[in-house]
Chains A and B, each alone.
Chain A
């Protein structure tokens, strides 16, 4: 699909959830290529999901969102939809994890992806509390945090990421972002023309963290898939100034109180 992968070009994923069939081939391909151990089978009581979440061992996670509402007695009115989405690190243009990382372990690569240098990370886990998508996980064996690398090693070798290559329906598409944007716009127009009014693009434009390197075509509101809405997609740095101002206010008040209490004054002898 991608003719040549060149450093200096922004690459990413366009995940079209309208054609995801929930086969989990992406999860398997990711684990195979990145040598991530498999999961012991677990029953989560959440549709066909037995992966649970993105973390240090699961860099792709296929979500199953059941939207079954009963039909009215007359037979109409029910909604039957099974939304599936292969979730992944969003490789944000304005990456919250990069904002807070104290070691500089999280970098932007020559392919405009977000990558955690395993030999630099010291496992402080600040990025975990900053990532608004709950993508990053801590790995006890390595003592570092880990997430999708967008197959950095494969890109360097001119190969597309393993998940995109394995996806049988091309729900996960890899390529230069500008090309993916055009493809996504066309697909959205088709879906709207077919009457799928709830379909929308998520992360295509700059409203969510300056645009996402891994963006999605969703069939419902972002919150349905566990994604923050554009209004909630705010960077951690927004709290720097107010936080420090609050600390300054507390400092001024405390020092004033201390000076009042500890000042020189006339006291009767013997008071302790």
Chain B
């Protein structure tokens, strides 16, 4: 049965697109840093990942605040300002509310890991160097996974065409964000990383791209069942899907040729990031007209 939709557009545009991209990269970079820490293969690349996560996540609240109709009231997301209310605001049924808290907490973990990666202050570096640091990093990685994925759930929890017709957006945004993050970390760590790290990151990107491809297929299956697949394919949106495909190709080819070619070419990270941006653009913009 074709789903009926009478909801109107919330007019979420460029700030939200950039936020979705940076949240994916920040969360993904932190998770990659945590994985590098757990496997212990390259401390330099691990530090680079944590050094990237914080700047990316710091921009996110700025973008979200700018998108608000009343930016000065951004704190109403966290504090109950209803007259006679008071206390903190957390609505478990609203992914936006949960996401704001996750973003806030993740920012704290990103800051701590960033400082530890810098090696100062020394107390933070010492704390993060031990088992407690590993435990904190794992908690931060879980938050990073949430921040990179909840944006897709947020879209789904509504009544817009496309967004509410599928359960796949959280997984799709997570995998694509991880893919973009792997590309960014690989480029940033290229000159300083240990032998084999660039190859490993390229392979990781291949796995992330494979998961992304799986979710793209699931997306189209669910949208076709709901009768809204044409919305994301109509007009010029098909061109953005071509960009998505071009962004998936380098990591997937790298994965297929594992052990032979390995590392990405110089243009591949650009294609990957453009593909991830295009994916978010077509999902965000196509139902809003």
Task: Please list the residues of chain A having a beta carbon within 8 angstroms of any beta carbon in chain B.
Answer: 53, 55, 96, 99-105, 107, 117, 119-126, 128-134, 136-140, 142-145, 223, 226-229, 231-232, 234, 236-237, 239-240, 242-251, 253-264, 267, 269-272
Contacts and interface: CB of A to CB of B under 8 A. Distances in A.
Given A247-B171, A254-B174, A122 B76 contact: yes
B168 A264 contact: no
Contacts of B170: 243-244, 246-247, 250
B8 A128 contact: yes
A163 to B, nearest CB: 21
B175 A254 contact: yes
Contact of A272 (B10, B149, B263): B263
B112 interface: no
Contacts of B150: 247
A88 to B, nearest CB: 14
Given A129-B7, A129-B159, A132-B5, 10 more contacts: A55-B8, A100-B157, A100-B158, A105-B76, A121-B76, A124-B77, A249-B171, A250-B171, A257-B204, A262-B200
B66 to A, nearest CB: 11
Contacts of A129: 7, 9-10, 12, 155, 158-160, 163
Interface in B105-161: 145-146, 149-150, 152-160
28 contacts: A100-B93, A121-B73, A122-B69, A122-B70, A124-B68, A124-B96, A126-B154, A129-B9, A129-B159, A133-B6, A140-B69, A143-B70, A143-B71, A229-B4, A232-B5, A239-B164, A240-B95, A243-B156, A247-B145, A251-B149, A253-B171, A254-B208, A255-B31, A258-B208, A259-B35, A262-B204, A264-B39, A264-B41
Nearest to B202: A261
A112 B157 CA distance: 24
Interface stretch (B54-62, B80-88, B230-238, B268-276): B80-88
A123 B68 contact: yes
B265 interface: no
Contacts of A258: 31-32, 35, 178, 204, 207-208
A253 B175 contact: yes
B157 A128 contact: no
A228 B4 contact: yes
Contact of B153 (A138, A247, A255): A247
Identify which of B11, B157, B263 gathers the most chain A CB atoms within 10 Å of its CB: B157
Nearest to A140: B69
B164 A102 contact: no
Contact of A271 (B77, B153, B196): B196
A109 to B, nearest CB: 12
Nearest to A102: B97
Identify which of B89, B206, B263 gathers the most chain A CB atoms within 10 Å of its CB. Answer: B89
B10 A125 contact: yes
User: What size tier do the contact residues of chain B reach?
Assistant: 35 or more
A271 B262 contact: yes
B81 A120 contact: yes
Contact of A232 (B3, B152, B203): B3
A268 to B, nearest CB: 9
Q: Which of B11, B91, B158 has the most CB of A within 10 A?
A: B158
A246 to B, nearest CB: 4
A247 B145 CA distance: 8
Given A239-B164, A264-B41, A121 B6 contact: no
A96 B159 CA distance: 9
A100 B155 CA distance: 11
Contacts of B206: 257, 261
A63 to B, nearest CB: 12
A10 to B, nearest CB: 21
A103 B83 CA distance: 12
A253 to B, nearest CB: 5
Interface string B14-41: 0000000000000000011001101111
A50 B146 CA distance: 45
B174 to A, nearest CB: 4
B196 A240 contact: no
B103 to A, nearest CB: 12
Contacts of A102: 77, 89, 91, 94, 96-97, 100
A244 B163 CA distance: 14
Given A103-B89, A236-B159, A231 B1 contact: yes
Which residue among B1, B67, B195 has the maximum number of chain A CB atoms within 10 Å of its CB?
B195
B159 A131 contact: yes
